[in-house]
């Protein structure tokens, strides 16, 4: 016979109330667990989707430029002291401490070139990396696989008469709005051989219109274009996409800067802010809903325990009369609440994960399974215990302060 024996026997005796409390705590904790679990999965998805919108770090050669004005005549800026980026810089970027946060490193060399007698911007890229970065590209044809193959932007292809006239899909709103999305434009490649700087190349594919600068560009493999434009090993820009769910972009920028002192490294603030704001909003929403549910749970425990204390006035009076200290009475009530809370927390963890598993398909397009963080179980039990104990402090104090003589006046 210990105080815990009495607490356990009391719970068995009041099975209905114990069950009500357990279910109440389980619902509260389950909601929070489901919110956290769903929130975590949605955050990851949002982060992944935002990452598809492109790079969030831009690396360009460090240079100084002067705007010249002579006799009222403006002369275009003159760049001097230019430090070129080179192929070796890619490896240096991969050596930063946060290298595991780097999803894509997309180097480019850019140059004007003579394409079929017209001037066009020629870009040498690592297609594997570039396509990870530009997931919105819809390619008619295929990705270049050999050095003499190129990918051509939609406007450039039209100017070079490589594709047939476009036929827009009859979408009423698109016609009215006067613009077409890439998915709406249908075209066929009519010619697949072009000359660039006098050399024959095969057109592997044409990028559907994006509305971006790539529409007017010709893309080839990095090494081949570097040779073609006589810039062996040189790069004009490196785009980096860092995995951004809670990633310290500024730290990554600093680490790359220290590795490439000759380059200008900058975070694309808009993308970074969009990601962090979206993630923050989801986190705040989850926290607010969770807090409201937990407060309701705490009030439920409070009222139930207060009711229980009133109901047990005589019993507590007898215990006090036979020598139970105030602390013994409180201990007994806390043990009851702790048992119910741990059980409720555990059930809440299970039901929360189950609920998030069932609900995730309605909130997420890609994730079908919530994250099963073992730490959530610890959180669920600790949170349930904390809420249970905190909500029971006043009822327990009140029980312990019951005057035994008042209680035994009626016995």
Residues forming the site for other proteins (CB under 8 A): 1-3, 5-6, 9-10, 12-13, 314-315, 318-328, 403-405, 408-409, 411
- When the beta carbons of 318 and 359 are compared against other proteins, the nearer one is 318
Assigned token pair, 19: 């069950």
User: Which of the 8 DSSP states describes residue 189?
Assistant: B
Going by C-alpha positions, the residue among 202, 200, 193, 87 that lies closest to residue 142 is: 202
φ/ψ of 59, rounded to 5, equals -120, 120
140 versus 331: smaller Cβ distance to other proteins: 331
User: Residue 10 or residue 351: which is nearer to other proteins going by CB?
Assistant: 10
Q: How far apart are CA 40 and CA 283, in angstroms?
A: 8
Residues in the chain: 411
Number of Cβ within a 10 Å radius of residue 307:
12
Please state the closest distance from residue 17 (CB atom) to other proteins, in A.
13
At its nearest, how many Å lie between other proteins and the CB of residue 18? 12
**Ramachandran area for residue 241 (φ above 0: left; ψ -120 to 50: alpha; else beta):** beta
Four-residue CA torsion sign, 295, 299, 305, 308:
negative
Closer to other proteins by Cβ: residue 112 or 408: 408
**Closest approach of Cβ 396 to other proteins, in Å?**
15
Give the shortest CB-28-to-other proteins separation in angstroms: 28
Residue 234 · residue 181 · CB < 8 Å: no
Of residues 68 and 408, the one with the C-beta less far from other proteins: 408
CB 323 to other proteins: min, Å: 2
Q: How far is the CB of 327 from other proteins (least distance, A)?
A: 7
Phi and psi at 138, nearest 5°, equal -110, 115
- When the beta carbons of 52 and 401 are compared against other proteins, the nearer one is 401
Q: Is the dihedral of CA 381, 382, 385, 391 positive or negative?
A: negative
């Amino acid at each position: 016979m210990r105080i815990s024996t009495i607490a356990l026997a009391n719970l068995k005796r009041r099975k209905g109330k114990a069950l009500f409390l357990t279910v109440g705590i389980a619902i509260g904790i389950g909601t929070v667990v489901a919110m956290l679990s769903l929130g975590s999965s949605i955050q990851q998805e949002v982060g992944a989707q935002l990452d598809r919108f492109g790079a969030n770090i831009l690396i360009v050669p460090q240079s100084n430029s002067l705007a010249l004005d002579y006799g009222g005549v403006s002369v275009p800026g003159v760049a001097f002291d230019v430090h070129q980026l080179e192929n070796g810089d890619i490896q240096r970027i991969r050596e930063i401490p946060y290298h595991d946060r780097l999803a894509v490193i997309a180097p480019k060399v850019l140059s004007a070139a003579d394409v079929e007698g017209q001037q066009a911007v020629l870009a040498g890229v690592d297609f594997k990396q570039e396509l990870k970065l530009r997931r919105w590209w819809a390619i008619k044809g295929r990705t270049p696989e050999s050095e003499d193959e190129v990918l051509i932007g939609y406007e450039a292809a039209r100017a070079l008469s490589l594709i047939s006239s476009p036929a827009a899909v009859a979408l009423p709103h698109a016609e009215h709005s006067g613009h077409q999305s890439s998915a709406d434009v249908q075209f066929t490649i009519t010619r697949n051989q072009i000359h660039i700087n006098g050399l024959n190349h095969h057109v592997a594919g044409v990028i559907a219109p994006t509305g971006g600068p790539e529409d007017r560009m010709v893309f080839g493999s990095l090494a081949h274009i570097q040779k073609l434009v006589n810039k062996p090993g040189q790069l004009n820009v490196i785009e980096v996409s860092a995995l951004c769910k809670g990633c310290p972009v500024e730290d990554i920028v600093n680490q790359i800067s220290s590795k490439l002192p000759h380059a200008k490294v900058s975070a694309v603030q808009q993308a970074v802010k969009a990601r962090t704001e979206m993630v923050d909003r989801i986190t705040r929403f989850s926290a607010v809903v969770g807090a409201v549910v937990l407060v309701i749970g705490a009030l439920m425990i409070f009222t139930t325990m207060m009711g229980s204390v009133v109901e047990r006035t005589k019993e507590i009076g007898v215990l006090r009369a036979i020598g139970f200290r105030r602390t013994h009475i409180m201990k007994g009530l806390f043990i009851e609440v702790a048992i119910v809370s741990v059980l409720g927390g555990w059930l809440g963890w299970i039901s929360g994960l189950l609920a998030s598993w069932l609900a995730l398909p309605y909130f997420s397009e890609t994730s079908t399974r919530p994250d099963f963080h073992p730490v959530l179980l610890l959180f669920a039990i600790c949170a349930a215990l904390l809420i249970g104990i905190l909500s029971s402090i006043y009822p327990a104090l009140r029980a312990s302060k019951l005057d035994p003589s008042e209680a035994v006046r009626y016995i």
